[in-house]
């Protein structure tokens, strides 16, 4: 019997690998997913206790997103009309690609880029041109400018996951200004970096800046993403593209309370940056790895032929980091998230002992 269009479609979809989620281990030091354990868990216990009185989960969260956007607006000091929200920035990426791009849209990005973004482009069969990171795990601005003429969308995660690289501010500004199509700058890790270009959305109508509460606010489990763009884009997105109730009541209320205490998260980000420096220095002292600078809450290092052994041996000791294989021009790359001081020390001691 001839296959129906539907069977063929499912067959084609089944050929895709999809976004590979990390393996779940119990009772381990989890340094593989760029989460933020430096945020004290008692902070959220407190937040959860407080929101219980405010919620009635029998109701749809009518008006909830609007209140969250006001809290975001106070935090990021941007007009509320320039802010949209989503169920994690993952969902915003999905909705933007699904509604703004097609098989005819050409996307320019880096290699590597954020894995979920790449998978979504494959799902929608959107052709991508990728510029590879060089030996030092840097990108060259000129490569992007040369290729930008042939692209409709430029997507960059700034800082980049998994390298931790961020262009110099002037360079990124120049690239954005020279690009005619839509520019999507994903600032998921920006609170750990030196600068944000969020303000440029006030002047540039073709710029979207993605942000999230998953990283610096340590709220990955609540799935709160947001983005900044001109008012027309936000209106079309929020009124037409986005679901009526994209975030659940618990996420909305906890997000609002966390944003009200945003000063605490500035201290957390400062702590993470200090610990990041310590991890980079200690790994470099070991003299066997190529350790890359990072502007995010993780550190990438190349362990070449030893990477599988190190990754496995760490798991056996209850420490999970990310095994990435080849990244840019380097084989055997591993990525470790910055955790609490104790988690970081346990990782550093374990890896030092493995080398002896």
Residues that bind ligand PLP (CB under 6 A): 34, 88-90, 114, 157, 161, 186, 188, 212, 214, 220, 225
Rounded to whole angstroms, how far apart are CA atoms 60 and 349? 49
CB of 213 to ligand PLP, least distance (A): 7
Helices (H), the chain: 5-14, 41-51, 64-76, 88-100, 115-123, 141-148, 169-178, 231-236, 249-260, 262-285, 307-316, 341-355
228 within 8 A of 209, measured Cβ to Cβ: yes
Q: Closest separation between CB of residue 304 and ligand PLP, Å?
A: 24
- Is the bond into 159 cis (omega within 30 degrees of 0)? yes
Nearer to ligand PLP, 88 or 282 (CB): 88
For residue 4, give the DSSP letter. P
Closer residue to ligand PLP in complex, CB, 157/253: 157
Question: Smallest distance, Å, CB 34 to ligand PLP?
Answer: 5
Tokens of residue 256, six digits: 């609002």
Q: What's the closest the beta carbon of residue 220 comes to ligand PLP, in angstroms?
A: 5
Per-residue 3-state assignment (H helix, E strand, C coil) for 229-298: CCHHHHHHHHHHHCCCCCCCHHHHHHHHHHHHCHHHHHHHHHHHHHHHHHHHHHHHHCCCCEECCCCCCE
Burial class (CB in 10 A: 0-12, 13-18, 19+), 199: middle
> What is each CA distance from 250 to 38, 43, 216, 225, in whole angstroms?
22, 15, 19, 14
Q: Can you say whether the dihedral through the CA atoms of 18, 19, 20, 25 is positive or negative?
A: negative
CA distance 292 to 242: 38
Cβ distance to ligand PLP smaller for residue 88 or 255:
88
CB of 307 to ligand PLP, least distance (A): 21
Residue facing ligand PLP at closest CB distance: 88
Q: How far is the CB of 336 from ligand PLP (least distance, A)?
A: 14
Looking at the Cβ atoms of 223 and 282, the one nearer to ligand PLP is 223
The smaller minimum CB distance to ligand PLP, of residues 258 and 348, is found at 258
Task: Work out how close the CB of 285 gets to ligand PLP at its nearest, in angstroms, rounded to a whole number.
Answer: 28
Q: By C-beta, is 114 or 192 nearer to ligand PLP?
A: 114
Q: How far apart are CA 215 and CA 253, in angstroms?
A: 18
Closest distance of CB 352 from ligand PLP, Å: 28
Which CB, 166 or 348, lies closer to ligand PLP?
166
Nearer to ligand PLP, 88 or 218 (CB): 88
Looking at the Cβ atoms of 157 and 191, the one nearer to ligand PLP is 157
CB 216 within 8 A of CB 337: no
Residue 233 or 337 having the CB closest to ligand PLP: 337
What minimum distance in Å lies between the beta carbon of 235 and ligand PLP? 22
Question: No. of H helices and E strands in the chain?
Answer: 12, 12
Residue recorded with tokens 């199509």? 181
Smallest gap, in angstroms, from Cβ of residue 222 to ligand PLP? 9
Which helix (H) or strand (E) element contains residue 21? Answer: none
């Amino acid at each position: 019997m001839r296959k129906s269009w539907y069977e063929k479609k499912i067959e084609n979809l089944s050929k895709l690998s999809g976004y590979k989620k990390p393996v779940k281990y119990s009772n381990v030091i989890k340094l593989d997913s760029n989460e933020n354990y430096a945020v004290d868990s008692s902070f959220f216990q407190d937040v959860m206790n407080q929101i219980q009185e405010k919620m009635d989960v029998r109701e749809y969260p009518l008006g909830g997103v609007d209140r969250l956007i006001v809290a975001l607006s106070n935090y990021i000091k941007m007009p509320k009309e320039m802010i949209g929200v989503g169920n994690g920035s993952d969902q915003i990426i999905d909705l933007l690609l699904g509604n703004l791009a097609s098989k005819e849209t050409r996307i320019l990005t880096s290699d590597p880029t954020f894995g979920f973004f790449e998978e979504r482009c494959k799902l929608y069969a959107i052709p991508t041109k990728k510029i590879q990171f060089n030996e030092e795990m840097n990108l060259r601005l000129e490569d992007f400018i040369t290729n930008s003429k042939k692209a409709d969308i430029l997507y960059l995660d700034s800082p980049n996951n998994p390298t931790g690289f961020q262009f110099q501010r002037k360079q990124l500004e120049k690239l954005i200004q020279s690009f005619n199509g839509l520019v999507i700058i994903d600032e998921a890790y920006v609170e750990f970096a030196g600068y944000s270009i969020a303000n440029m959305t006030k002047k540039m109508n073709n710029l979207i800046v993605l942000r999230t509460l998953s990283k610096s606010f340590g709220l990955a489990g609540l799935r709160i993403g947001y983005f900044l763009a001109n008012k027309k884009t936000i209106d079309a997105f929020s009124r037409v593209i986005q679901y009526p109730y994209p975030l659940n009541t618990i996420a909305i209320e906890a997000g609002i309370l966390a944003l009200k205490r945003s000063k605490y998260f500035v201290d957390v980000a400062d702590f993470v940056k200090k610990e990041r420096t310590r991890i980079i220095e200690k790994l470099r002292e070991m003299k066997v790895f190529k350790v890359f600078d990072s502007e995010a809450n993780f550190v990438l290092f190349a362990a070449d032929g030893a990477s599988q052994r190190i990754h496995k041996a760490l798991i056996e000791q209850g420490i999970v980091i990310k095994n990435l294989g080849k990244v840019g021009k380097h084989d055997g790359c591993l990525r470790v998230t910055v955790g609490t001081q104790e988690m970081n020390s346990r990782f550093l001691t374990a890896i030092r002992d493995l080398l002896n």
